[in-house]
Structure 1
Amino acid sequence: MNTLSRAENYLHLHGRLIDRLRFEAMFAGGSRERVLDLLSVYQNPDGGYGNALEPDLRGSASQPEPVSMAFWILDELGELNIARVRAACDYLLGITAKDGGVPWVLPSARSTPRAFWWEEAPDDPPGNLLITGPIAALLHKHGIAHPWLGPATEFCWSAVADIKETTPYEARAAVTFLNLVPDRERAEAEFARLREAILATVTFDPDAGGDAHFPLDYAPVPLRLPLFEQEVLDRHLDALAASQSDEGGWSANWPMWTPVVEHEWGGYLTMARLKTLKAYGRLDVT
């Protein structure tokens, strides 16, 4: 069995329906409409997303991170310019902090089952680049105009400008924002300033265990920004392909705090790894 066939088998054994339908749409000529229909079930009347679309947030209420996840799925389908995205942006506008950014997590998470790293939010949480940056980046990529985007973009520029030393998740969010924001001169200047600080957060040993953040986590598709040499990317693409499990999937390198999330994350990450291999021309999709 080739990579795709093994992954399809893994998804049938472990993956959520949404990830199985995403596989069919991307690799087997399946219907994108079925993915859109199912994704709408995760969207709440307030326009936000919840209902464990982000597996580690088990509650039904809308939270910022599931909005980001929904937008990445819509991006993969080429369907970001639709009414439900505008409804989600309306939701974001309603929860945005005074600084223009979207909070990491909202207080409604306090009363729901969640992974321990989704710490209880303060009553008035500030904006956070980890959430705001990728969402703003995707809206810019697709040319989506919405009142939320201008202040959010300014928040991201300010947050990026404040970075000196950084963490892996913040660095990844900054790279995503700087890679897609339209003001290329400003983005490239900030990237040049931050490149060494970003690289300091990267795990370059493809065999490293634990909470490692590898080059392909920062560059799951080819970047406009010169972050990694091609030799580095090739080494990690080889390692990624080789790390497909005997069952055909890829697993997470963070704690699985309740049994169901191991399967849900496994399906989601298997789709993410396939997308990366495809983006770099490492997947035979004929």
Structure 2
Amino acid sequence: MEKRFVDGRDFIRCAGRLLERRLFATCFEAAPGTGVLDALRGYRNDDGGFGHGLEPDKRCPASLPIDVECALQAMVTARTVDPALVRDACDYLATVTVGGAVPLAFPVIEDYPRAEHWSDWTYEPGLNPTAGIVGLLYELGVEHPWTATASAYVWTTLDTVDLPADAHALSEVLGFLEHTPERGRAIAAADRVRDALTKASWFRLDPDDDAYGLSPLSVAPSADSPWRGLFGEDVIQAHLDRLERDQQDDGGWPVTWEPPGQAALGEWRGIVTLGSLRTLVSYGRLSPGPDPR
């Protein structure tokens, strides 16, 4: 087991949330995914949604679509699913859907600490997060009437409206295109999304750019991602080099924005560190071999 991997593991064990510790154990230590589901239930509300800062940049306990998306992402990462938990979350999404779409958040977040960028723009229903949530539901294989409603919204938007100029929304679209059963339409749309992504705000194609943004590894976080081919292999390898260099002396990876406090900063670093380890292992840059101790 490489020291860099051990250092990242130890950072998560020391500073990560229970959820990231459970996810690490599931991803790298053959722990059952039930532990991840148990951790997620602590973020669940009686309305079926998720809240309580599951996405750490807002410390709001109320259910929010972004937190539902985070819960689904955790299940995908753990390769496990609780169908009843997911269906309850979709029931919640159906109650806050407008025109087939959901927003990231609601004004209730203003009553709690939050990062500065979480403001009124997050209250507008759109492809972010609707497209990403639908893609995750397809990947998890859980059927619900909301999925068809939201999928129709995504396709109508892609077919009739200019693509978003924001890399976050385009990344959500790629998540949808990866898993929608309508493969012909998805393949036809992928190149158009790629062209828009390279010109979008918050996209960091240059690996030496220190500013906040999404990189090619954000949309192709694993070596088998269908979106790896959207970028030259030299670009992918340069970003992997940068990802390796970014590991800090404490074993964790940094974040490039201002969370609302030290607790949120630590939580985010645990999330980013787990994601970095998974990406570097997938691309063969790190080995999670047996612990020599």
| Same fold per superposition (TM over 0.5) | yes
- Aligned residue in 1 for 2:112: 112
Structure 2: distance between partners of 1:277 and 1:103:
32
Structure 2: distance between partners of 1:12 and 1:144:
31
Using the aligned pairs only, state the percent identity. 34
TM alignment of 1:89-168, pairs within 5 A: 89-97=90-98, 99-120=99-120, 126-161=124-159, 162-164=161-163, 166-168=165-167
Matched, 1:236 2:239: yes
CA spacing shift, 1:67–1:165, aligned 2, 3 Å: closer
Q: Larger deviation: 4-13 or 128-137?
A: 4-13
Structure 2: distance between partners of 1:111 and 1:264:
21
Q: What is the CA deviation profile of residues 190-223 of structure 1, one whole-angstrom value per residue up to 9, with x for unaligned ones?
A: 2223322212233222121122321111211233
Structure 2: distance between partners of 1:111 and 1:215:
35
Q: How far 1:259 moved relative to its partner?
A: 1.6
Structure 2: distance between partners of 1:166 and 1:135:
19
- Aligned residue in 1 for 2:52: 51
Supply the AA of the counterpart residue of 1:184: R
Q: Secondary structure at the match of 2:205?
A: coil
Q: Secondary structure at the match of 1:44?
A: coil
Q: Which runs of 4+ in 1 moved over 4 A?
A: none
- Note if contact 1:81-1:144 (Cα within 8 Å) is conserved in structure 2: no
Q: What is the CA deviation profile of residues 50-85 of structure 1, one whole-angstrom value per residue up to 9, with x for unaligned ones?
A: 111111120111111011011011011122352111
User: Unpaired runs of 5+ in structure 2?
Assistant: none
- Aligned residue in 1 for 2:172: 173
Structure 2: distance between partners of 1:178 and 1:261:
31
Structure 2: distance between partners of 1:17 and 1:165:
35
Structure 1: distance between partners of 2:234 and 2:156:
33
- Aligned residue in 1 for 2:225: 223
Q: How far 1:184 moved relative to its partner?
A: 1.4
Q: Secondary structure at the match of 2:178?
A: helix
Q: Larger deviation: 58-67 or 8-17?
A: 8-17
- Note if contact 2:177-2:190 (Cα within 8 Å) is conserved in structure 1: yes
Matched, 1:76 2:74: no
Q: Secondary structure at the match of 2:30?
A: coil
The two structures have a TM-score, normalised by structure 2, of 0.90
- Aligned residue in 1 for 2:6: 5
Q: Secondary structure at the match of 2:253?
A: coil
- Note if contact 1:106-1:121 (Cα within 8 Å) is conserved in structure 2: no
CA spacing shift, 1:85–1:28, aligned 2, 3 Å: same
| Aligned-pair Cα RMSD in Å | 1.9
- Note if contact 1:105-1:121 (Cα within 8 Å) is conserved in structure 2: no
Q: Secondary structure at the match of 1:117?
A: coil
Q: Secondary structure at the match of 1:169?
A: helix
User: Unpaired runs of 5+ in structure 1?
Assistant: none
